Amino acid sequence: MGPADGVIDLIHLADRPDTSGHRVSVRVLGRFQSGILTGHDVLDCEIVIVTEAVDATFAVTVLPEDLEDWEDALTTLESGRFATWLDSGRTPSMKFKPDRSGGLWVSVHDGPSSGVTVTVPLFAPSETWATEQRDMLARVRETYPREVVETSPGAYEWRRPATSKGPVAD
């Protein structure tokens, strides 16, 4: 499980120690509507940006398919190409742009709410940052497994493990 408060990171990108101290995180706070079929597998999250000039938090809900999209975005980033995530228009979106020096520029655009865009340069992220992000994604999936299945459009039921009669508690 996560720390005592239940919050775990899905994404944590930061400069190396003794540099600018910039960081961008997506923190999973818990299930959006635990125990309710249509909202149980949706995650209540926040995007957190910290720099010397900005300390911002954006609320975001993450759907199971968004986790798959993040995995695809990581594959794109590992090949050195620009990637976007959460770009459906329903939540703040994120853009990731690797640069030739090994740095990474991360932009968060809060189109649905404030219209604010914040771009953070990460000049010296860890050399293993992509592996670290994949490990965090695996931890989120392990902590918050999919427990609801859509049996037909608009019809949902619990995905029942052989030894359980309902949703697994958070």
Radius of gyration of the chain (CA): 17
Closest Cα partner for 108 from 15, 28, 26?
26
Query: How many whole angstroms separate alpha carbon 13 and alpha carbon 133?
Result: 8
Q: What is the pLDDT, as a whole number, of residue 27? A: 98
Q: What is the pLDDT, as a whole number, of residue 46? A: 98
Q: What is the pLDDT, as a whole number, of residue 168? A: 52
Q: What is the pLDDT, as a whole number, of residue 160? A: 76
Regions in the chain scoring below 50 on pLDDT: 1-4, 170
Burial (CB count within 10 angstroms: exposed 0-12, middle 13-18, buried 19+), residue 169: exposed
Domain boundaries, the chain: 8-155
Q: What is the pLDDT, as a whole number, of residue 1? A: 38
Pair 146, 125: CB distance under 8 Å: no
Task: Classify domain 8-155 at the CATH topology level.
Answer: Secreted effector protein pipB2 fold (3.30.2450)
Question: Collapsing DSSP states into helix, strand and coil, what is residue 136?
Answer: helix
Q: What is the pLDDT, as a whole number, of residue 2? A: 44
Beta-bridge partner residues of 30:
44
